[in-house]
Amino acid sequence: MRVAVISDIHANYHALEAVLAEVTAEHPDEIWCLGDVVGYGPDPNRCCRLVAGHATLCLAGNHDLAVLGVLPVSDFNGDAAAAVRWTQGELADDAREFLTPLAPSATRDDTALFHGSPVDPVWDYVLSEAGARASMELVGAPLVLVGHSHVALQISYDEGSLAGGLAHRGDVVDLSSARWLLNPGSVGQPRGGDPRAAWLTIDFDAGRAVFRRTEYPIELTQRDIRAAGLPDALASRLGLGQ
């Protein structure tokens, strides 16, 4: 089975459209989404429709849950909270129906999937060695997929020893060599200095994962963010990949 993994789309339609064009050209068997389809960006409804039409599995992220009213807006900082409130006013009925049943974790065959991490599927950020270790000790799955931090990661865990770190375009992971924790990075608001949309392919038969990056017209999303009256920082950060 070949799977494309996307995460943290954050209502960035132009990024999602560009990624899905590359994904569908490769005809994966499935597309998995690790959550945060909405929040921050200007196009929540079209993003929900695209994900609903393409993904075979989709998790709920903290922003999705806040927009639905499951989490309080007060859990979010200034710009994120403003975007949650804006999205609540924009969300169409079909987008709400798509997001409502989603959960922040799932298991598919030998893969455990979390928006945050096994420690806290909604809120925990895996950004440190200690965080990765805690996650790998909590679940026994050979492969653990997480999103939420918007930073692509490849961390191996073999009999208590960790290795790896940040993942870059073209990095290849041999899944047979150890247990792995992978974060595909973010489609719609990449952080870590590379502004290109991030995603991941997994070939389970070949035991291989590859980190991918896709260029998209960032200026169109920035224009839409400003036209929507969302905080300007949410536009400028896209150009920096931060």
Which residues of this chain interact with Zn ion, rule CB under 5 A?
8, 36
The residue with its CB nearest to Zn ion is: 36
Closer to Zn ion by CB, 124 or 157: give it.
124
In the chain, % helix, strand, coil (3-state, to 5) comes to 35, 25, 40
Q: Which helix or strand (DSSP H or E) is residue 165 part of?
A: strand 161-166
Nearest distance from C-beta of residue 36 to Zn ion, angstroms: 4
Residue where the block lists tokens 């590859």:
210
Closer to Zn ion by CB, 8 or 224: give it.
8
The rounded distance, in Å, linking the Cα atoms of 54 and 38 is: 16
Nearest distance from C-beta of residue 240 to Zn ion, angstroms: 17
Nearest distance from C-beta of residue 229 to Zn ion, angstroms: 21
Closer to Zn ion by CB, 77 or 161: give it.
77
Can you read off the two tokens belonging to residue 85? 């409130």
Q: Which helix or strand (DSSP H or E) is residue 143 part of?
A: strand 143-146
Nearest distance from C-beta of residue 198 to Zn ion, angstroms: 12
Which whole-number Å values give the CA distances from 149 to 35, 43, 49, 115, in the listed order?
Answer: 11, 21, 24, 9
Which residue type occupies 173? V
Closer to Zn ion by CB, 178 or 181: give it.
181
**Alpha carbon 126 to chain centroid, angstroms:** 13
Nearest distance from C-beta of residue 125 to Zn ion, angstroms: 10
**CA 78-190-67 angle, 5° bins:** 45
Closer to Zn ion by CB, 105 or 156: give it.
105
